[in-house]
Each structure stands twice: as C-alpha cells, then as structure tokens.
Amino acid sequence: MQFSTILTSIALLGAFSLSALQPAQAQTRTGEALASDETILLMSQAFKKGNVQRLSELLPQARGHVLEPWAAYWELRARLDTASPAEIQQFLNRYAGTYQEDRLRNDWLLLLGKRQAWGTFMAEYPSFRMNDDRSVQCYALLTDARSSDRDVAQKVETLWLALREADEGCAAAAEQQLKARRLQPHAVWMRARLGFESNNLRIATQAVALLDAEWANTVSAVYSNPEHYLEGKLLALRLRTKELVTLAMIRLAVKDPAAAAIEIDKLRWQTQLSQEERSWVWGVIGKRSAMRLSDEALGYFLHGQDRHMTDDQLGWKVRAALRAGNWAQVATATAAMSEPERQDAAWVYWRARALQKLAKAEPDRIEARRLLQSIASVRGFYEQLALEELGQRISAPARPEPLTQDEKDMARRDPGLSRGLYAIQIGLRSEGVREWNYSVNLHQRGGMNDRELLAAADLACQHEVWDRCINTSERTKDVMDFAQRFPMPHKDAVLQRTAQIGLDPAYVYGLIRQESRFIMDARSGVGASGLMQVMPATASWTAKKIGLVNFKPQQITDRDTNIAIGTGYLKLVLDDFAGSMPMAAAAYNAGPGRPRSWRGQAGAPVLEAAIWAENVPFTETRDYVKKVLSNTTNYAALISGQPQSLKSRLGMVGPRELGAALVSRDLP
C-alpha cells in the first residue's frame, strides 16, 4: 500500500474521534502538526528488522501521532535488554492503561524472570493486567513465598504440562519444586511423553535434564532411533529404563502405529511396564491410527485403560468409536475426560447421543435430554445439532433493542478501540487486532456487558472492519445480534453471482465468513488471496474452466473477480462431491484429494456427516467444515426468514457409488 499523508492522518483522526493518551492535552493541540502515518509504518518495518538505530531516529517524529504508543513500544522493546529501569518505568507511566504498557510489562517480566531479578519482578507482577503468559505465571510461582506448598507445585505442574513449547520459566519453577520434593519425577516423564507425542524433542530433553543433564543425550538417541533402543533392552526394571522404553514406544507409535502395537504386545513389556505406561502407549497408538482412519484404531484403544489416557487421546478414541458405531465406548471415553474437557460442546453432544442409543431406562433418557438442553442454541455446530435433537430448528433470534446514541458514543470514545481501528486502517492489521482485542477483553474482565460489546461491534461494522465486528459480537452472552454476527457485505455481487451459477448464497457467505471474515485484502501464509482466499494456481485453473478470458494473477484481489473465481471453484467442487456441502467445504480447505480418501474405500460404512466431519484428521479442516456448515445454516435463516436444518445440509457421507462420474478429477 502507499504511505498516507499527514492530511490523511488528520482526516482519519476526525473520522474516528480519536482521543490522545492525555485528553486534556489533546484538546489544546488543535492545529499542531501530527506525525505522518508514513513515520509509523517506517517504524513498524524497522522493528521487524531489529533496526534499533532507525527506531530511535524516527521516534521524535511520531510524537503526537495517535499511534505514538506503538512507536514508543517498538523503540523501547527493540533495546529492552539494555534499557534502564528508569526508562522502562517512564514508558509504563506515560502510556498507563494502554495495551502497549501491558505488552511491555509482559516482555519486561519475562526478562526479569530470566535474570532472576525477583525483587523488581514481584513489585511489577501485580500490575500485569493481561496475566495470560504461562511463563510469567511460572516465574511468579517460582518467587512465591509459599513455594513449598503442594498447591503451588500443582499449579506449576498444570502450567508446565499445558505448554506446547519448551519454556524457561516453567522449567525453572518445575526444577524448584522437584528439589523441594513437592513435584514428583513422574511429572517430568509425563512432560517428556507429551514432547515425544507432539514431535517436539526439545520439550522432552529440557524436561529430563531437570533430573539428570546427561539423560538428555539418551532421550535424543531414543527419539532418533526408537527401534534400535528397544532391540537392546531385555529388561526395564529401573524407573529410568522403564520411562525410556515408554518414550521409545511412543516415538515408534507416532512413526508406525502398527509396528508399535506389535512391539508393546510382546510378553516382556506386558510384565515389565506398568498399566499406566502401557495405557499411555496404547493411547498414542490408537490416536495415530485414528488419525489415519484405520479400522484398527478402536481395538488399539481397548488394550489400555481410559483413566490413564490424556484428553487428546480420549478425544480420538471417541472419534474412532463413532466411526465404528460403538456407542458404549463413546460413553465411557467421554466419561473419562477431565471435567473441563467434558464441558466442550462436542463431547457433551456425543455423550448425549450415546446415552440416547444405549438408554435402557428413563433416567438415561432424561440425562441425555439434560445434556442436550445444556448446550442447545444457534451459537455453533454442536449447539445447533443439539437443538435439532430436541426437535427444534435453527432460527435467527429477535434483534436486540437498538443501540442508543450514548452507547455508540461511549464505544467511539474508547481510546483502545479507536487506536485499533486506526492501525487497521493504515495497514497495521496485526497491531490493530491485538489492541482491539485487549480493549474488549479488559472491559469484559471489568464488567463489559452485552450492550457495550454490541456497541463496540457496531463501531467496527460502521468502519467495515468486519472481522472485529463479528468477533466482538460473538462475545455477548445473553443477547445476539445476528446482523452483526453474520453480516452480508457485497450482497448484490454475491447474490447475482450465486444466482447465475446455481449456488446457495448462504453457503457462499458461510464460507467467506470463515475464510476471510470479509477482509478484502486478506492474504494467507500460503498465498491465498481475497474474500474467498483463492490460491494463484487454483485461480488460473478456475478462470479457464469458467471462461474468464484474459485473466491475470493480480486480478485475484479484485472483489468481483475473486467472487467469480471462488464461487466457480466451489461449484465445481460441490458438483464433484455430488452436492455434499461438508465434503465440498473440506475440499475447498484441504484440496479435493484428501476428502476423497477420507470418505473411505468401497465397502466402508456410510456415516452421518457429523461423524465424518468429526473424524477429519486435520484439526484446521475439521474445525473449518463445522464452522462453514454452521455459518451456512444461520445465513440461510437470515436470508430466508424461515427456520433451517443443519442436519439436512450435512446429510450422509460414504464411498463414491460404483459407476458415479467424476466431474473434475483434475480439480486442484
């Protein structure tokens, strides 16, 4: 994009009614020259490149700009290692109450923890409003005067095991608790197992080194060649050897589940490994097999005990049981999950369905109905399915009372929301989104009610920042404004195009909402562009198929061209999958080849599409299919004004019928 001018900055300031950090001073600055957007954008680039000198040179020019807090943050963050405490405190005071203040405090606390500057750390930690950084939380526990208490050890263990990357703060806190004998070595081996299961060796070696630094090398060797390690182990009587054997089994299971199943079933491991160790390994074998849609998956899970498996493993056991039609195992696996995991709408729904299938007495049917009622709403995929199980259809709720001018003005005057919008407007989307979310989240913690959320969402809608409009409106608890949650920008273009090619406009809107949140210039990390996030190769191929002559790759960001190509490709995919909306959505996200394989070979069972979607191996695609279909159903209710059925859109999924024609086998 081209750099904005000072006049553009002034115009945008007026449009957003932005207030500076010190409102009284802002009112006296009318007519003062403001730093241009160009300076801010140059500083953003310098920060990404780590150019400290350039940041320091540009900072004076950014004084007085509405995004001055970002400019000052970038400049100080880039040299935080060498900044004096006085400089840091001056920044925190000058920008008190802003996202940038709390962001820098987060960065500083991490640095203080790493340096073990506990006095300054504990003085500053209570002011950390976000308090969402697990590493910072672990550093705080490390300095806790009650660090010998079992309660602190439990908190450290919970935080540490939840981290998906190696982390110094939580590792240091875990080490302290190990030395105090409040944290047991088993927690270390659990952390190592999770590292092996997620293909993250660094997690495992960091954990095991807390027990003995030399063991980390052995763990690395086990990770590199688990088969070789297992061949040389005839006995696993010592704790360390048993755990290393378990790690080797886990690594083998990730690489080759069938081979791991053969190995762990050998007599020596049945007698030398504990039930807990064997169950964890069987959980990994089952999970990796289920991710490959193997018919053997459920049988593998049944070799272990649910109580020794992780929530993630149990989730895959539920999926394998659903594919196999084994509702008893759906019930037992969901019952074994941790309490927070059991509350997830997916597992509430499937547990209710299992109880319905297995019910032999009225109490079971009553419990199933209670579970369905606890989640039934129009808010999401499983919530909508629960409604239909209860005999209801999906309708758009009545609109809430219109916002008052005072409510709108309050949102407009919020400095964090205004800065967020401004940053997005000049191309700093990541920064703008973070500041917007921070403002909304902090308000929520302090009591931002549904009306305030609706007003904030309305502010974003009015400026056509649709992603913030949607995401903010989705936060309301007791009221819903479907016009905010499911907006229909570019309505004439979408309706005209879908009518021309015979495509359901609700389906197109459901897909666009998930793909780009209606951000015109959205671009993914892999190069997909525009409203419908079309890949360059797919765009060129589709342009030829639909007769779009003289198509040039740069045209993909044009609204009408993007809609024409995106809908054209979606129609081809939908026809290829015989009108199956869930399979076409999966194909749009992951490519058509994958859902063709996921539907199974000849002789595979025909499944409810909800079961098929839950078993999609890719987390992103699994989530995508559910959200697109849920969105579609709500858009259909809005467009038609009539109650809708998600189940009818889902249908059934099974192998392609023999003799069925492939519409476009060359679909990219």
Tens of pLDDT, residue by residue over 257-279, are 999 999 999 988 888 899 999 99
Distance CA 211, CA 109 (A): 27
Rounded Cα gap, residues 199 and 639, in angstroms: 46
Cα–Cα dist 604/606, whole Å: 7
CA-wise closest residue to 632 among 509, 467, 466? 509
Angle at 462 between CA 505 and CA 563, to 5 degrees: 30
The per-residue pLDDT for range 460-469, each reduced to its tens digit, is: 999 999 999 9
Q: Name the helix (H) or strand (E) containing 652.
A: strand 652-653
The reported pLDDT for the residue numbered 660 is 53
Q: Name the DSSP class of 532.
A: T
Q: What is the mean pLDDT of residues 445-462?
A: 90
Range name among 237-241, 268-272, 518-522 with the lowest pLDDT average: 237-241
Contacts of 104 (CB under 8 A, 6+ apart): 73, 76, 77, 80, 88, 91, 92
231 is annotated as an active-site residue:
no
The pLDDT of 137-155, averaged and rounded, is 81
Residue 138, SS3 per DSSP = helix
Q: Which member of 87, 515, 614, 657 is catalytic?
A: 515
- Residue 629 has a pLDDT of 98
Quote the tokens at residue 332.
Answer: 């037992």
Give the model confidence (pLDDT) of 44-80 as tens digits: 999 999 999 999 999 999 999 999 999 999 999 999 9
Q: Please tell me whether residue 418 adopts helix, strand or coil conformation.
A: helix
Closest CA to 236 of 281, 285, 274, 190: 274
What's residue 143's pLDDT?
A: 86
Is 552's pLDDT higher than 60?
Answer: yes
Residue 595 to residue 217: CA distance in whole angstroms: 41
Q: Are 517 and 533 in contact (CB under 8 A)?
A: no
Res. 618: pLDDT tops 70: yes
* Sign of the four-CA dihedral 578, 579, 583, 589: positive
Q: Rounded CA gap, 352 and 340, in Å? A: 17
C-alpha 525/C-alpha 527 separation (Å) is 6
Give the pLDDT confidence of 463-513 residue by residue, as tens digits.
999 999 999 999 999 999 999 999 999 999 999 999 999 999 999 999 999
Which of 75-85 are b and which e, b meaning 16 or more Cβ less than 10 Å from the residue's Cβ?
A: bbbbeeeebee
Q: Count the helix, strand and coil residues of the chain and give each as a percent rounded to the nearest 5.
A: 65, 0, 30
Over residues 622-643, the mean pLDDT reads 98
The confidence score (pLDDT) of residue 604 equals: 84
28, pLDDT greater than 50: no
Between β-strands 607-608 and 652-653, what pairing exists: parallel, antiparallel or unpaired? antiparallel
Give the residue-averaged pLDDT of 230-246: 78
pLDDT band (50, 70, 90) for residue 1: very low
Write out pLDDT tens, residues 340-375.
999 999 999 999 999 999 999 999 999 999 999 999
pLDDT at 666: 79
**Cα 200 to Cα 192: distance, rounded to the nearest angstrom:** 9
CB–CB of 517/628 below 8 Å? no
> Who wins on pLDDT, 33 or 193?
193
Query: Mind listing the pLDDT tens digit for each residue in 554-612?
Result: 999 999 999 999 999 999 999 999 999 999 999 999 999 999 999 987 778 899 999 99
At residue 154, the pLDDT reads: 93
What is the average per-residue pLDDT within 122-149?
87
Q: pLDDT category, 235, cuts 50, 70, 90?
A: low
* Strand partners of residue 608: 652
Q: What is the pLDDT of residues 530-545, one digit of tens each?
A: 999 999 999 999 999 9
Q: Is 131 left (phi over 0), alpha (psi -120 to 50) or beta?
A: left
Tokens of 345: 């709408």
pLDDT (average), residues 515-525: 92
| pLDDT bucket at 657, cuts 50 / 70 / 90 | low
The single residue listed with the structure tokens 């904005």 is 4
pLDDT in tens, 168-192: 999 999 999 999 999 999 999 999 9
